[in-house]
Structure 1
C-alpha cells in the first residue's frame, strides 16, 4: 500500500490541550490512510518548514481563549 497524502498539523499549545487535539487529528488522518506530521510552531527549526512546504494539506491549531498567545503561529519564518 502506498502512503496517502501528506498532512502537516502545526499547532501552538499553552497548557497541552491543543497538543492533545493536534495528535487526535493526526491519528484520525493516519487511520484514513494519510501520512500526518505534527509540528509545534514554537519549536520549529528550518527542517520542519520543508514538511509544511511539501504537505498536501495543512491544519493549524491554537488556543481560542487567548489569541495573543498565538504569536508563534503568526510569525513569518
Structure 2
C-alpha cells in the first residue's frame, strides 16, 4: 500500500541533527501534539532541543483510506532549522 511504502521510506530518514517522529497514533492529533511528541523524544533520546524534526499527525493521516491508499495530500510538518529539514 501507499502507507506501507511511505512508512518504509520514512524509516530511512533522520540522523545528523535531524529526527523523524514515527507515524502517528490518535494521540498525535494536532501540530501542537507533534511538537510535544518531539520534545518527549528529544528528552528520551538525550537529543538537543535544537534538533530539527519532521512528522505528520492524525488529522493528516486521514489522507489514507482504510487499505492504506493515499487519497489526498499528506501534510508533513516540521520544526527546527528549515535548511536541515528541507
TM-score range, shorter chain: 0.3 to 0.5
Higher relative contact order (CA 8 A, sep 6+): 1
Greater strand proportion: 1
- TM-score relative to the length of structure 1: 0.32
TM norm structure 2: 0.30
